[in-house]
Structure 1
């Protein structure tokens, strides 16, 4: 993101424990990152490696 926006995010990526909750936290952090344009269209998904299905996290 720093290369695209010219600003380094204040948050860091982290590993997932409770996948859906952690995706929600990540989506919130990215939506709140003001230098990033079009933040209203950010969505989060969980990929199931066994089935190949994507599930959107609300």
Structure 2
């Protein structure tokens, strides 16, 4: 499936839960990532988040 960063996200969630056991949002997100199922909007190129545009040295800031 895609080029996501689910495993990295799960690592950060695990670290969060080590520091804050029982933090419900982290628990829910960890469960969601563990299913391996993503919402349709995330699987469709037209609606999926593409990330921030890359900035190059010398680009004018807006």
TM-score range, shorter chain: 0.3 to 0.5
Alignment TM-score, normalising by the size of structure 2: 0.31
Larger radius of gyration: 2
TM-score normalised per structure 1: 0.32
- Give 1 or 2: higher strand fraction: 1
Normalized per residue, the structure richer in helix is 2
